[in-house]
Amino acid sequence: MENNIINIKRQLKGLTLDELKEYFKETGEPAFRGEQLFNWMYNHLAVSFDEMQNFSKQLRAKLSGNCLIQALELVTVQDSPQTGTKKFLFQTSDERKIESVIIPDGDRATLCISTQVGCPLDCKFCATGLMGYKRNLTVGEVVDQYLLAAREYGKDKITNIVYMGMGEPLLNYKATLSSLSIFTAELTKGLSRNRITVSTSGIAPKIRELADSGFRVKLALSLHSCFEDVRSTIMPINNKFSLKDNIESIKYFARKTGSRITFEYTMLKGINDRKEDVKALIKLCSQIPSKINIIPFNSIAHMNPGGISATLEPTPLKEIEHFAQQLRDNNITVMIRETQGNDIAAACGQLAAKY
Ligand code: SAH
Ligand code: SF4
């Protein structure tokens, strides 16, 4: 009988330093090769073994035969001429499409990365939620968004990474943690640990785990309302992990990491922009070291939504400013995020592959 030997290559992109050292030991090579490969992939942004000059020709051939170091393929880069925003479209090996965005702001540039294809949480204002859940991204796919974008844009020019693209990072917890381990490793030069923010819709037990993990990342909670019933209407996950649970968890996170929490607040007309919302926010912020990031609601009309999603409207900018002023008058730090990249559908909550 014919013997079909299928050669499945091992994906090394996404392995942490310890895992790479282990891999080399297993294959009869010295562990320090793991450190060298880590350096090539995550510092020098190498995409082929041929680039690795301190590896012998033989070793490069062996690695090329057995391993892969590209988890994503860059399909297109789209520029927004108005804002300088760049949207990257990537393809996975199973032909899923994912997007990441670079948002420049003065001498900073923030890369927004995804952790899932789609999202299972069905927030009513979110385009990703409307597309449903396909699968978790692998660690390699999470870090390759940064590595491939950095190759195009310039590694040193990306100053911040936010986990605010498609998906809920704390529902893909293991991959999120491994990606943080890579991004914050001593060996990954130029990427300060203070510049990474994980944004969550509020998976309370995982917020505690993240606090205990020792990675000094910043946390953003997608708050959107201080009232349980309103929050449950627009964010069904609130029925499972209530705001009360999440507030306890973020207090723990703030205490344990000594960092300030960011509350993300997408302004929805008549839903969370009322007088009582201002009052409730003032009360909440007095209990937790925090700041508020107001996000003007980006249209999701391109997804042709039904139900409550079809009825959502943005709060007019003038009213947003008035809302923010009342908070500032109470010594709360408030940022109103500019809607960037609207013209190329690269704004927050619009990251949904329409392919
Ligand atoms: N799943 C995570 C991270 C991705 S969403 C989370 O929910 O936090 C990133 C941010 O964009 C969240 O604060 C989310 O609530 C917000 N967002 C989603 N859709 C939006 C829209 N249409 N307009 C404005 N902000 C939106
Ligand atoms: Fe998922 Fe975040 Fe969108 Fe909610 S806002 S559906 S958690 S990506």
DSSP letters, 117-186, are: EE-SS--TT-HHHHH-EEEEPPHHHHHHHHHHHHHHH-GGG--EEEE-SSS-GGGSHHHHHHHHHHHT-T
What is the CATH classification number for the domain harbouring 292? 3.20.20.70
Are 225 and 292 in contact by the 8 Å Cβ rule? The answer is no
pLDDT tens digits, 121-153: 999 999 999 989 999 999 999 999 999 999 999
What's the chain's average pLDDT?
92
Number of domains in the chain: 2
Does the active-site annotation cover 99? yes
Are 131 and 54 members of one domain? no
Is 107:127 a contact under the CB 8 Å cutoff? no
Tokens of 303: 């997804």
> Ligand 1 mean position to 222 CA, how many Å?
7
Closest residue (by CA) to atom 5 of ligand 1?
A: 164
Containing structural domain, residue 279: 73-354
* CA nearest neighbour of 35 among 253, 25, 354: 25
Is the C-alpha dihedral spanning 85, 333, 285, 287 positive or negative? positive
Greatest alpha-carbon span in the chain:
80
Same domain, 46 and 80: no
Are 48 and 143 in a shared domain? no
Q: Which ligand is nearest to the CA of 299?
A: 1
- Contacts for 105 with CB less than 8 Å, ≥ 6 apart: none
Whole-model pTM?
A: 0.94
* Nearest atom within ligand 1 for CA of residue 348: 11
Any idea which ligand is nearest the CA of 164?
1
Based on the domain organization, do 179 and 137 belong to the same domain? yes
For residues 271 and 299, membership in a common domain is answered with yes
* 45 shares its domain with 104: no
At 176-232, the pLDDT tens digits run: 999 999 999 877 766 655 589 999 999 999 999 999 999 979 999 999 999 999 999
Question: What pLDDT does 355 receive?
Answer: 44
Same domain, 146 and 196: yes
CA dihedral 126, 129, 134, 140 (to 10 degrees): 40
The residues with which 116 forms a beta bridge, in sequence order, are: 136
Which residue has a Cα nearest atom 4 of ligand 2? 123
For residue 351, pLDDT over 80 is answered with no
Look at residue 83 in the predicted model and tell me its pLDDT.
82
CB atoms within 10 A of CB 110: 18
Report the DSSP pairing between strands 73-79 and 218-222.
unpaired
Does the residue 6 lie in any domain? no
Together in a domain, 198 and 213:
yes
**Is the beta carbon of 202 within 6 A of some atom in ligand 1?**
no
pLDDT at 74 over 70: yes
Residues 220, 235 within the same domain: yes
